[in-house]
Chain A
Amino acid sequence: MMEKGELKGIIEALIFVSPKPVSLKEISEVLPDEGIKEIRSAIEELSAEYKERGGGLLLVEVAGGYQLITRPEYDPYIRKLLTERREVRLSQAALETLAVIAYRQPISTPEISAIRGVDVSGPLKSLLAKKLIRIIGRKDAPGRPFLYGTTKEFLLRFGLRDLSELPRLEEFEEFLPEDERESEATSSPDEGKTE
């Protein structure tokens, strides 16, 4: 067993070099002599240190792993530096289809269409192409339609630890006038590790 300072240093280095979130399992494979408990507590301390330091980086848990990210408030400066980086956001239709799949997976195309009230083949195709959803089986029903579910890519895109981080569907108001809905969009949706 190594000293905690060193352990934290190694973990920090591992997370720094990895382009993807590093899981607890991956870290413990690199450090077979260290207990999972010790590793986890070292990560938690590290994360707290980043937060307290008030620097440019934060250590967060996302999609089942740990990752270094920049503080969201520094986004405008980063944009000035990395001007060429741009991406199109998901369309409303894609977002709504994705929401149905995220909450009701595994779910088949006819079931999604019934909820959305429209044909969803277009959004499904684009979500599959973006690897945000995948086919996870076939339904035991006439025609044996495909069943869809969300992917790890989905968690990464929305910065979610896992599916349980989604609010329960019943928590959404039955009815909100549109303007109230939009004003809520400014509040930070994150909590826990980063705040």
Chain B
Amino acid sequence: MTSSEVPYKVRIPVFEGPLDLLLHLVRKREIEVWEIPIAEITKEYLEYLDLMRELNLEVASEFLLMAATLVYIKSKMLLPATSEEKEEIEELKEELVSQLIEHQRFREAASFLKEREEFWSKCWQRETEATPESEVLLEADLFDLLSAFKKLLAPKEEVEAEVIERDELTVEERLKEILSLLSELAPLTFSELFKSEGRKAMFVTFLAILEAIRLKLIVAYQKEPFGEIFIYPSSVKPEELSW
């Protein structure tokens, strides 16, 4: 195997952990966190882990630990249990729920801070150094990107035979292509970057997008939660970065 054939490893931004993924799954269902349907959430959670693995993303150990907890609770729930065991399951579930609630509260606290930051940035003081941009957009996180990618993958599978695979690009080549595309046509929607691509090429494109975000070459924004994702070039110039 030559070095160019070594699978390209993309690092997930370290801040996105299992609790964020779980909250994302709960929120998508528009249910109260107390009502968390363990069996279904576990299934979805594992599907995401599979997708992350298929993409050759580094799945942090915290994700696996949470998966183990979920599977444990789920399997215990399926089996006939003594009252003692039932109590244990309830305790585990409660612990998980309270962890999720606390996490959610801190996310709310973070949005409070974000609002303050935003408001205060409009109040100018003498000699202040800087102020942020005015456009209010939500930065798409890894799970938003994964969701969008999952959606794109689904219908593609059926027509795969008809798609003519173009010469296979490396992630790095595709990344450069995306950047040059963006320099002329920004912003592009997430799906526009995947136009008429075969499954394999789609994975390359997706990895290139993740890598470009990690390197802060592009930014992914949504105008609303779960909305269309727009890709913008970031203000950092590629030549300022070491590859």
Contacts and interface: CB of A to CB of B under 8 A. Distances in A.
A181 B108 contact: yes
Nearest to B35: A175
Interface string A117-138: 1111111000000000000000
Given A78-B124, A117-B103, A119-B14, A92 B141 contact: yes
B126 A115 contact: no
A177 B14 contact: no
B104 A87 contact: no
Contacts, number: 178
B33 interface: yes
Contact of A68 (B13, B106, B125): B125
A188 interface: yes
A42 interface: no
Interface in A74-121: 75-76, 78-79, 82, 85-93, 95-100, 102-103, 115-121
Contacts of B79: none
A72 B122 contact: yes
Interface residues of B, number: 58
Contacts of B141: 92
Q: How large is the interface on A (under 10, 10 to 19, 20 to 34, 35 or more residues)?
A: 35 or more
B130 interface: yes
A173 interface: yes
A140 interface: no
A176 interface: yes
A73 B103 CA distance: 34
A86 B116 contact: no
Given A19-B127, A182-B224, A158 B113 contact: yes
Contacts of A144: none
Given A92-B141, A118-B15, A159 B108 contact: no
Interface of A: 16, 19, 58, 60, 67-73, 75-76, 78-79, 82, 85-93, 95-100, 102-103, 115-123, 157-160, 166-167, 169-170, 172-179, 181-182, 184-185, 188-190, 194
Q: Which 6 A-B pairs have the closest CB atoms?
A: A93-B15, A118-B17, A87-B130, A159-B120, A172-B108, A117-B19
10 contacts: A86-B132, A95-B111, A98-B113, A99-B110, A117-B103, A119-B60, A119-B62, A169-B106, A185-B136, A189-B119
